[in-house]
Amino acid sequence: MAVEKLFKDEATEEKGERARMASFVGAMAIADLVKTTLGPKGMDKILQSTGRGHSVTVTNDGATILKSLHIDNPAAKVLIDISKVQDDEVGDGTTSVVVLAGELLREAEKLVGSKIHPMTIISGFRMAADCARKALLDRVNDNKDDASKFRLDLMRIAKTTLSSKILSQDKEHFAKLAVDAVMRLKGSTNLESIQIIKKAGGSLKDSFLDEGFILDKKIGLGQPKRIENANILVANTAMDTDKVKIYGARVRVDSMAKVAQIEGAEKEKMREKVQKIIGHGINCFVNRQLIYNFPEELFADAGILAIEHADFEGIERLALVTGGEIASTFDNPESVKLGHCKLIEEIMIGEDKLIHFSGVEMGQACTIVLRGASFHVLDEAERSLHDALCVLSQTVNDSRVLLGGGWPEMVMAKAVDELARKTPGKKSHAIEAFSRALIAIPTTIADNAGLDSAELVAQLRAEHHKEDSNAGIDVITGTVGDMSELGISEAFKVKQAVLLSATEAAEMILRVDEIITCAPRRREDRM
């Protein structure tokens, strides 16, 4: 018995087979969970939090679903991580990466069951992943020199990304929005200069892209509603000191008159500050903090539009867009960079008034205004659009494009199969398993559309044995179709990221042979 007591009371360990079983089962369960969201006919999930307000999220985005889960199984956590990384890195393919990793593990489990060592499986997977990547590289399409063709590619990619999301009904419209927005970035992948404003009301079709910048604020009272050739000072400074703050300050005075004097002094200070700000030669002042009515009055007298309490993101973006810098001291006006724009005016969207800056310095910025029936729809629309924007901005940099609809997986599976036939030894089993796992993606796409996946995938495989076929699954008609005619495209970068992350994750989980769970600390011990 002495040997047993290596760990403290409550710590448990699982060895060998049992540990591996636990991690396989957990990972496959996670993969099955998001499996149904894959593809254009994938379903959405409702996530209800148990926290305050029981907020409800309706989503189709693999990463969002997995992020909201609280999970005990260590292997499942690895899969959740890869989907998060996929989301940060390329933005789309979050579901595919988990499904692929899950399938790889499912295959690996069978291999381990037939007495093949995990390390052998891993080296087989490695070879297979390499081979699959090369197979894709041979078949990529690159149109970056021909602008009109490239734009068509981008439109196709956007439509393909959006077709599995809530926006699939208006995917033409949104694909155009996304492509326009990304083309304005001129190759930077910084999506911060694309601002997305969600306004409930109207339908998704009413969403539009605006050249300028929209600030979700109202224009103060008695101030000009419209300014042309604006010079904008963006600031983060306190404009609320013209009254004595009652709390926190102890002032001993002989009479009320003295208090009035102090207030007068404060007012003078404020007036000086405002004079300094006006001295910059501006006609629009945007502040991060409150502006009291006294300084607001002074600004209005000077004919300056003062906007208070602009939220921080808004203000950073505004500074970025108008080419100004955020100032907090105003003693030397020559060192402050002002922002410029051609026209500031108030516009109405739905019920709300917003301030619209057009003709901004940096032509890269734009605002997408999303309209929709409810907040859940808007949130999901924003997530979907964000996916599309991420993929597009990556594609602008790395302009290699593949066909979609299960085509890349079939191409990879075919190449990997050929490799398996050439490879001697036990590794060949692992390589073959890899190709079966790849085929699981088109199978799942077909299953989700309620089609006969076995039949379709067999047809696909036959098609792909002809040279250079473009066959993929056309879920709309439920047959095998030509992907290049249907205009279903995907970005190479996304597929590559899916392939490599899934392989690495599966490899990591395969290496596990022992799970040690540590004992919870007891309360009494702390005393």
DSSP string, 302-322: TT-EEE----HHHHHHHHHHH
Q: Is the pLDDT of residue 362 over 70?
A: no
**Per mean pLDDT, which range of 113-122, 154-163, 338-347, 401-410 is the poorest?**
338-347
Average pLDDT (34-59) is 82
pLDDT digits (tens, 9 = 90+) for 199-213: 888 888 888 888 777
CA distances (Å), origin 338, targets 235, 243, 276, 366: 10, 29, 14, 20
Q: Which of 208, 213, 246 is nearest to 232 (CA)?
A: 213
pLDDT digits (tens, 9 = 90+) for 227-261: 888 888 888 777 766 555 555 666 677 778 877 88
Quickly tell me which residue has 């490799």 as its tokens: 419
Average pLDDT (23-33) is 88
Please report which confidence band the pLDDT of residue 2 belongs to, taking 50, 70 and 90 as the band edges.
Answer: very low
pLDDT digits (tens, 9 = 90+) for 470-515: 888 888 888 888 888 888 888 888 899 999 999 999 998 888 888 8
Q: Is 387 tagged catalytic?
A: yes
Q: Is the pLDDT of residue 21 over 50?
A: yes
pLDDT of residue 430: 92
- pTM for this predicted structure: 0.81
Q: Which of 103, 111, 60, 108 is nearest to 79 (CA)?
A: 103
- Exactly one of 64, 95, 322, 443 is catalytic; name it: 95
Please report which confidence band the pLDDT of residue 174 belongs to, taking 50, 70 and 90 as the band edges.
Answer: confident
Q: Is the pLDDT of residue 122 over 90?
A: yes
Q: Is 61 tagged catalytic?
A: yes
Q: Is the pLDDT of residue 127 over 90?
A: yes
Please report which confidence band the pLDDT of residue 42 belongs to, taking 50, 70 and 90 as the band edges.
Answer: confident
Average pLDDT (40-62) is 81
Q: Given phi > 0 = left and psi -120 to 50 = alpha, else beta, which region is 406?
A: left
pLDDT of residue 49: 78
pLDDT of residue 349: 78
pLDDT of residue 22: 84
Q: How far apart are CA 313 and CA 289, in angstroms?
A: 13
Q: Is the pLDDT of residue 456 over 70?
A: yes
Q: Is the pLDDT of residue 131 over 60?
A: yes
Please report which confidence band the pLDDT of residue 373 belongs to, taking 50, 70 and 90 as the band edges.
Answer: confident
pLDDT of residue 420: 92
Q: Is the pLDDT of residue 189 over 60?
A: yes
DSSP reduced 3-state for 92: coil
Q: How far apart are CA 188 and CA 95, in angstroms?
A: 26
- Exactly one of 37, 59, 61, 417 is catalytic; name it: 61
Q: Is 95 tagged catalytic?
A: yes
Helix 16-35 vs helix 74-89: crossing angle, to nearest 10: 40
pLDDT digits (tens, 9 = 90+) for 398-449: 888 888 888 989 999 999 999 999 998 899 999 999 999 999 888 988 888 8
How high is the mean pLDDT of the chain? 82
Beta bridge partners of 226: 345
Q: Is the pLDDT of residue 222 over 80?
A: no
In the 3-class helix/strand/coil scheme, how is 172-214 assigned residue by residue? HHHHHHHHHHHHHHCCCCCHHHEEEEEEEECCHHHCEEECCEE
pLDDT of residue 100: 92
Q: Is the pLDDT of residue 150 over 60?
A: yes
Please report which confidence band the pLDDT of residue 522 belongs to, taking 50, 70 and 90 as the band edges.
Answer: low
- Exactly one of 57, 64, 94, 322 is catalytic; name it: 94
- Is pLDDT larger for residue 217 or for residue 460? 460
Average pLDDT (338-344) is 81
pLDDT of residue 1: 45
pLDDT digits (tens, 9 = 90+) for 282-340: 888 888 777 777 778 888 888 888 877 776 667 777 777 777 777 777 777 777 778 88
- Exactly one of 170, 210, 242, 387 is catalytic; name it: 387
Beta bridge partners of 2: none
pLDDT of residue 243: 58
